[in-house]
Structure 1
Amino acid sequence: MTTSEVLLPTTRRALLHRIATAQADGRTPSLVAAVRRDGRIAWSGARSCVEGHEPDGDTQFRIGSLTKTFTAVLVMRLRDEGLLDLDDPLEKYLPGTGVGEVTVFQLLGHSGGLAAETPAPWWERTPGKVRPGLADVLGEEPLIHPSGHGHHYSNPGYTLLGSLVERLRGGSWDEVLRQEILEPLGMHRTTPQAEEPHAGGWAVHPWADVLLPEPVEDLGLMASAGQLWSTTTDLLRFAAFLAQGDDRILSESSVAEMRAPAAPVEAGDWASTYGLGLQCVRRGDRTLLGHTGSLPGFLATLWFSIEDDVAAVVLTNATSGPLVGAVAADLVQIVAEAEPRIPEPWRPLPEVDEELLALTGPWYWGTHVYGLRLLADRGLELQPLRGAGRAARFRARPDGTWAGLNGYYAGETLRVVRGEDGSVDHLDLGSFAFTRKPYGGSESIPGGVDEGGWRGLAI
């Protein structure tokens, strides 16, 4: 099936209209975009100021800070192999940087308190040899905020992470990237240097329709923060990996960890946050994950929605032009709303444990009523049946308890407490007693239950 047959004609026209408007209104020399759904590229489109020279899914553009997500994956691999702990201070592996006790976790989530940029000159428009060592990248005062107290985006922070990868792997950042991510995912058109066919980077005059070529620099030590060139086809492969994991690179649980918010947000800024190398934004009721990127002459964005199983990439070759982050978000929204994801058929569990089945149904925390459902692989789900409450899913542990997976009870333990006769007395969830009846049983309820029991109010 060709990409033109995957989506409805009205959806394809809406997607084309969105990128055509972006290229025209944003005054960019060219723009290429693509959408992935149901495990394949569902649509691609491009616009160009030169007729017959539209870029395609094999045309490289510089992707700027989208590079950071690749660096974060390399660091997570080191963690999963036991070569570091995310809570370790960077100084443990790179002594003498001057960043003190800033942890690997804080660098990944931009909460280390480091400066946003390097000392002058502007690193994106100067060769990397201007900054031959980490001291040149960090400057005399690398920390401008208390570490761990909030989110402050830092390009030098990801330079440190790239150097960390090199130290622990014993090879160059770009070679480790090629071996551990790009080759396994088949991303052969993602490279540290441009390879034909590729777009040229341009600046568009703000007050006249004229162009100026932008320089292309090798960023040296800053490469791990923004060096890469890539294509829409390769980046959609990367999006699929970030959505579901790949055991050759990172497990599903590890990429899920990257997607979780990792840094405190600023007051009032609840629409966006940052995970571990991934931006997280809210668009209406939809959560989008991915990253934006820019370097002189180029803008890039990758967004994907787990719930909708839709990913979109937008690449363009202008220093300032269309707001590609908004364009990519619109492409996801167009597909998700015009052609909603069709759920898999409901199917019964392959087998059932009668003891677990007996645990299902209503449970009471005090007078709050909850329902407990049995899921696949002996998992459980607790949902309030009336009013607001703390819903959670739980994964079965080998010791007969369950671990909370989300929400208030993430990481908390759910266990079955039995009486002397072996029958179930109550559920203990992080010290809260859930009973079959409201305040059902004085022994399981801290503080006991009034001996007079439930009563009416005589007037």
Structure 2
Amino acid sequence: MTTTQEALLPGTRRALLHRIAVAQAEGRAPSLVAAVVRDGQTVWHGARTSVDGHGPDESVQYRIGSITKTFTAVLVMRLRDEGLLDLADPLEKHLPGTGVGEATIAELLAHTAGLAAESPAPWWERTPGSLRPELSDVLGEQPLLHPVGRRHHYSNPGYTVLGALVEELRGAPWEEVLRNEVLEPLGLHRTSGQPVPPHAGGWAVHPWADAMLPEPLEDLGRMAPAGQLWSTTGDLARFAVFLARGDDRVLSAESVREMRTPAAPAEAADVLDGVTYGLGMQIQRQGGRLLVGHSGSLPGFLANLTISVEDDVAAVVLANCTSGLLLGAVGADLVRIVAEAEPRIPEPWRPLREVDPAVLDLVGQWYWGTHAFGLRATADGLLSLAPLADGGRRARFRANGDGTWTGLEGYYTGELLRPVRRADGSLSHLDLGSFVFTRQPYDPEAAVPGGVDPEGWRGIG
């Protein structure tokens, strides 16, 4: 990935710099570094103050905390895609004896397994991982706080368990598997379990004085899959491209899309904010924009990775302070600045390569009862169903090769669209998951369930 600062307009670059400058100054961060990705390329990098007397660049490591969880989730999804597990499998099937074996792999990924948020005392982020050498030390005597599968409750021990699962099925340490299967293929050469110079030191900033205190840098041991990693804006920019587009060397576009799909209910307090969780990824709607990614924190460090797939823009923000900054808000603002100042230019319209008469027979106006819809054949080989007025269900459909089509999104995801023909071969209606779509509202010539009144439409008199 190359860095092309000229790819953004000067006004956009200044707005980005202003945003991180305000964040660093008001948040009192010893240093802050950020990058923006657009169209698969890093198009901007900015930094405030210094690390070891130098302005941090794309290769300076910061600790990324819980962004590590997304890396761990990628490893689990690879196991699924290889057929070594199913996300619906109970943990006990693959990793027996944990005491939380009834939870499924998907529930652990989505933080709905009912596990506690933290491991038993002492505070695991500020103490050596050697104090918790076994999985039982991480889970404690009462690992479950909630009924399995009933609610979203963020859990660091849950991702420790997933790391142990990876080790069990791969027969190798978690970090070794991560390097071989994710970091090396994606070219993330500056991402590691231990800091490699140049790297930032972690600091606590006094809440009532402009004074600093160094934070301890602990090896998390068993807890590593939940938050151990160090990385850079350069590497996380590459990772953001992967999470938006997939890479068949690691995970397909379909599998990373699955990770970005909500898999956990939102907490009551988060409903208005539209915040939920996928499979190793945080999801929220902010200002009408759907954002995915993950945040991270450990004593001395804050990190955020934010992606708008629709805008094809992502932002990475890293700082070396324990608190004082809301990096999620900064990341969202960086994405918004680029998306609004320089909106994504759509791909040129192109016609279909080949025109299939059977497909042309399907397109046009259809009615579900009295609701009007348009069905269009698009150049990518799909069918697109959309309401002709606001407020209806819309979806795209992929051909199955036998005359039927499968829904790809929204209410009709996975549902079958089946053209139904009369004895003479003419098109009667569409069956969409048992709903009948007709050419006219309640067409009397089509097989409408419940029948159509033979007297037809009438006035009130």
What amino acid is the match of 1:223? A
Q: Structure 1, residues 205-258: CA drift from partner, whole Å, max 9, x if none?
A: 111111111111111110000000000000000000000101111111100000
> Does 2:405 correspond to 1:402?
yes
Partner secondary structure for residue 18 of structure 2: helix
1: CA distance between counterparts of 2:153 and 2:52?
A: 42
Q: Structure 1, residues 257-284: CA drift from partner, whole Å, max 9, x if none?
A: 0000000112252321100000011110
Partner secondary structure for residue 421 of structure 1: coil
Moved more, 100-109 or 267-276: 267-276
Q: Structure 1, residues 280-323: CA drift from partner, whole Å, max 9, x if none?
A: 11110111110000001000000011111111100010011221
- CA shift in 2, pair 1:223/1:375, >3 Å: same
TM-score between the two structures when normalised by the length of structure 2 = 0.97
> Does 2:369 correspond to 1:343?
no
Asked if the contact 1:243–1:255 (Cα under 8 Å) also holds between the matched residues in 2, the reply is yes
Partner of 1:68: 69
What amino acid is the match of 2:167? E
Aligned residue pair count: 458
Partner of 1:321: 324
Q: How does 1:7-86 map to 2 (within 5 A)?
A: 7-48=8-49, 52-86=53-87
What amino acid is the match of 2:248? D
Residue from 418, 421, 427 that aligns with 1:418: 421
Asked if the contact 1:37–1:310 (Cα under 8 Å) also holds between the matched residues in 2, the reply is yes
Asked if the contact 1:442–1:448 (Cα under 8 Å) also holds between the matched residues in 2, the reply is no
Partner of 1:445: 448
1: CA distance between counterparts of 2:50 and 2:430?
A: 66
1: CA distance between counterparts of 2:243 and 2:445?
A: 49
2: CA distance between counterparts of 1:49 and 1:377?
A: 48
Q: CA deviation at 1:3?
A: 3.1
> Does 2:214 correspond to 1:213?
yes
Asked if the contact 2:87–2:106 (Cα under 8 Å) also holds between the matched residues in 1, the reply is yes
2: CA distance between counterparts of 1:234 and 1:443?
A: 58
Partner of 1:383: 386
Partner of 1:286: 289
What amino acid is the match of 1:230? S
2: CA distance between counterparts of 1:350 and 1:11?
A: 38
TM-score between the two structures when normalised by the length of structure 1 = 0.97
Q: CA deviation at 1:453?
A: 1.6
Partner secondary structure for residue 255 of structure 2: helix
Partner secondary structure for residue 156 of structure 1: helix
Partner secondary structure for residue 172 of structure 2: coil
Q: How does 1:102-141 map to 2 (within 5 A)?
A: 102-141=103-142
2: CA distance between counterparts of 1:236 and 1:219?
A: 25
- CA shift in 2, pair 1:442/1:109, >3 Å: same
2: CA distance between counterparts of 1:387 and 1:344?
A: 25
Moved more, 157-166 or 93-102: 93-102
Q: Structure 1, residues 354-392: CA drift from partner, whole Å, max 9, x if none?
A: 110111000111111111011245311111112421111
1: CA distance between counterparts of 2:398 and 2:133?
A: 48
Partner of 1:225: 226
What amino acid is the match of 1:227? Q
Partner of 2:438: 435
Partner of 1:96: 97
Q: How does 1:265-276 map to 2 (within 5 A)?
A: 265-270=266-271, 271-276=274-279
Q: CA deviation at 1:398?
A: 2.8
What amino acid is the match of 1:410? T
1: CA distance between counterparts of 2:202 and 2:403?
A: 58
What amino acid is the match of 1:285? G
Q: Which runs of 5+ in 1 are unaligned?
A: none
> Does 2:292 correspond to 1:297?
no
What amino acid is the match of 1:216? L
> Does 2:166 correspond to 1:165?
yes
2: CA distance between counterparts of 1:63 and 1:50?
A: 16
Q: What fraction of aligned residue pairs are identical, expressed as a percent?
A: 71
Q: CA deviation at 1:341?
A: 1.0
2: CA distance between counterparts of 1:330 and 1:48?
A: 20
1: CA distance between counterparts of 2:35 and 2:381?
A: 39
Partner secondary structure for residue 64 of structure 1: coil
Asked if the contact 2:397–2:405 (Cα under 8 Å) also holds between the matched residues in 1, the reply is yes
> Does 2:358 correspond to 1:355?
yes
1: CA distance between counterparts of 2:249 and 2:384?
A: 30
1: CA distance between counterparts of 2:249 and 2:286?
A: 32
> What is the RMSD of the two structures over their aligned residues, measured on CA atoms?
1.4
Moved more, 226-235 or 31-40: 31-40
Residue from 295, 305, 310 that aligns with 1:307: 310
